[in-house]
A and B are shown apart, each in its own frame.
Chain A
């Protein structure tokens, strides 16, 4: 059905066209809203169609490869496997729902919608690129719309938060760029020796070609150095302790839809990079980094959870919980096993769905109650029953209630952690209790108990249709994948080889 259609390029092209259209609709911002909705629905539909055609064999599919800058060996090379298709689906879904959720934005509406779509362009590019250069460009393209989303539609302290976000992640990307160049030049002679690129070429940025020779051909110390540079770029984006400080600021200041995409998708770019690039390309160095990754993961899990306990701002609490949950992803990756990495990808997917619900809930509190400060809220459940129900379901999903998607993902990560490190798994598992504590406590104080008198609750309006709809869809998926994880795991697992090392996967 898609034999001769450059479907992945189209996937990226439609949001781009939508973005341009939205920017041009300055005179009728209302129309921009519908344009954005349609142009974000098209990629979602395309991905759904692709999923029906997707083969569960594990390799790259829908591959496109065009020469772009031959002088430097850069190709516009796209392709997806089970890992990326999961992320691509999540991206198109979340962007569509986030646009719907922003239905009542009024300020500079058309620019807002345009930036959302531009963000989708960058994110989809990152998840489909198979060329380092293309990957890097899309990676950086993501920064610009996010910067503006925070800087223009953000909270009180938005100027500080947006520029901190921009510079923090930009510095990390530059380290990554150095690593990419090191790969580019050090693999060039190897590739020439194997006849994979012409002798007179400078090198190639093709991920698959580089992965084929880098693992065996590069010296150990060199592998470690390159791994370090790339790894640094990725973990700042994830983020994990100690490079997480930009995240709470950015989240607290970002508009709701911005937070949804930031936590739901941008953070995944970091862990996706480790899985797509670091592990298969530099397997020896990955083994050296295994313990570091595990420690970083566990520290993030614990630190994030403790930080959550201390927050009085609902949104800041959810932001810190993201750090904790991305720590679980890191731990899964650190096992370097098929189960662990598949679990990490599944956790990325799960966290994307769940955190979107949580941030939407926070946004609704801000909207309806005028504050997100937990001590000011209280007893709101009877006033806003739908919001309270959704909040409860979201929190339960996030703390890992069985039957919902978060439980399975965490369970799988902990299983493979046990496989690798034995009873050490008790350390991160103990944190689950903390997670339960902060969520239950926050819930108790904000929606149960006596009705608060600190804020005006007389005119509180429950959720609107454009808020209920995305939340319902997300919660539907959370339960669906919680009950039937095979939907996702059958896609993900074949793309990760069952035996370490992973080289040659990409």
Chain B
């Protein structure tokens, strides 16, 4: 079967991505180009929503070895990537205003998004790999976008080297798995492993896959690059990396481990569990001592990735409920984290520094910025009734449910709880600086409208997802069930 419908959303994005540099010859204004990119994103999202409402298209590949299937999981993740791309583009319009290469900037964001969406619908290790590479290449260039900026260039070099290493590791893992099982299809791998059991080569390949994808998601101990890159990259790009690129790594983990390696779950569940706990703890502990907000947000992203990764070992016991929780946290995190980064970007645009101390007295100078940042911080810390609380609660409930059968899984929940408490300190510290401390200047700050709109979108999503998330949870649940064909 070969139904192009399965990649229409990506095709739309790519068409716009190709058209934008050409249009740049006619239109010089960055606003116009940003507007066109937004139309592209919206069109692609419209296609996804159309599929959600009217049924999914056919697959690419065959029943036994599918390559690309646009299902509920792909739809949900596509919407996450597209939403993040939407706010990132909104936030970038003014940022790249005076850059000669502003058309390429938007092209790269659209290409990266298309790559991520391809990953979300891929069913075969090689398609997954291709998707990752499309997204990665584009994001390397995005990080290096300010090429005269030393910090930015350093970050880009680090990112390329680490990214290359990560690709190499995962490709090596994929080839070993292919050697062992004779296929690169996730379903096929699972069947082969169920039949022949586990040997050294399989263990090695699973280890390589965890390391390879681990670099992408920045889970401990493969996280060291993330703070440097997030700090050095243009802030809207940092938002894009933290809120979208990281999620791409997670959806790969979900797919590979649940669809491809569930037959040998007893051999990886505890490893992934330990990695998850390590990741959240290391992220939060290091975040405590950060004074640069972008670095703090980077470490907070690492910690949050640990929470999301929890879903994987839990899923070996409670199945789709755990993945539902993981996806829901991915969705809420996408909005609260990109929101927080864009506040930083907006303030940087009006020449406010990136150190926490620069935010002193912000509540008086820019009430909306301070208020929205406070909302994002509270949501990230998991204070009700905001979305970050609700998604952590669903994760926690999955862990308690899993603990009824496999007792050690309760430790995942306990780690989540303790880490939430720990993280409260550094999140609230930002609020303290904004609201409690008095700043040296009291001059009002005016932030460009496009940035304000982007922040408002994230803030509304953060609040609404905390109060009325029933339909979203249903959708997450539908998406999670696609990973468990036996239950569907």
Contacts and interface: CB of A to CB of B under 8 A. Distances in A.
Interface of A: 26, 68-72, 136-137, 140-141, 143-144, 147-148, 151-152, 158-159, 162-163, 166-167, 170-171, 174-175, 177-178, 181-182, 184-186, 202
B400 A69 contact: no
B413 interface: yes
B384 interface: yes
Interface string B376-412: 0010000111000100011011001100100000000
Given A71-B474, A151-B435, A185 B401 contact: yes
Contact of B421 (A140, A158, A170): A170
B428 A147 contact: yes
A171 B421 contact: yes
Nearest to B436: A151
Contacts of B404: 185-186
B52 interface: no
Contacts of A186: 404
Contacts, number: 77
A167 B397 contact: no
B413 A178 contact: yes
B470 A166 contact: no
Given A69-B473, A71-B477, A202-B321, A181 B397 contact: yes
- Chain B: interface secondary structure? helix
Interface residues of B, number: 32
Nearest to A166: B428
Interface string B425-448: 100110010011000000000000
Interface of B: 321, 367, 378, 383-385, 389, 393-394, 396-397, 400-401, 404, 413-414, 417-418, 420-421, 424-425, 428-429, 432, 435-436, 469-470, 473-474, 477
- Chain A: interface secondary structure? helix
A141 B428 CA distance: 15
Given A144-B378, A152-B436, 8 more contacts: A26-B367, A69-B469, A71-B470, A71-B477, A151-B435, A158-B436, A166-B428, A174-B420
B432 A159 contact: yes
A71 B390 CA distance: 12
Contacts of A185: 397, 400-401, 404
Contacts of B401: 185
A163 B428 contact: yes
Nearest to B429: A163
Given A174-B420, A185-B397, A163 B425 contact: yes
B400 A178 contact: yes
A72 B384 contact: no
Given A151-B435, A171-B421, A177-B393, A182 B400 contact: yes
A163 B432 contact: yes
A258 to B, nearest CB: 14
Nearest to A158: B436
B364 to A, nearest CB: 9
A152 B397 contact: no
Contacts of A184: 397, 400
Given A136-B384, A141-B384, A163-B432, A178 B417 contact: yes
B400 A70 contact: no
Given A144-B378, A171-B421, A178 B396 contact: yes
Contacts of B420: 174
A142 B380 CA distance: 18
B435 A152 contact: yes
A259 to B, nearest CB: 18
Contacts of B417: 174-175, 177-178
A72 B397 contact: yes
A287 to B, nearest CB: 25
B463 to A, nearest CB: 13
A35 to B, nearest CB: 19
A210 to B, nearest CB: 14
Contact of B470 (A70, A141, A174, A202): A70
Contacts of B396: 177-178, 181
A479 B424 CA distance: 43
A179 to B, nearest CB: 10
A232 to B, nearest CB: 12
Nearest to A147: B428
B270 to A, nearest CB: 21
Contact of A181 (B400, B428, B473): B400
Contacts of A174: 417-418, 420-421
Contacts of A166: 424, 428
26 contacts: A68-B470, A69-B470, A71-B473, A71-B474, A71-B477, A72-B473, A137-B385, A141-B385, A143-B383, A151-B436, A163-B425, A163-B428, A163-B432, A167-B421, A167-B424, A171-B418, A174-B421, A175-B417, A177-B417, A178-B417, A184-B397, A185-B397, A185-B401, A185-B404, A186-B404, A202-B397
Nearest to B416: A174
A158 B436 CA distance: 9
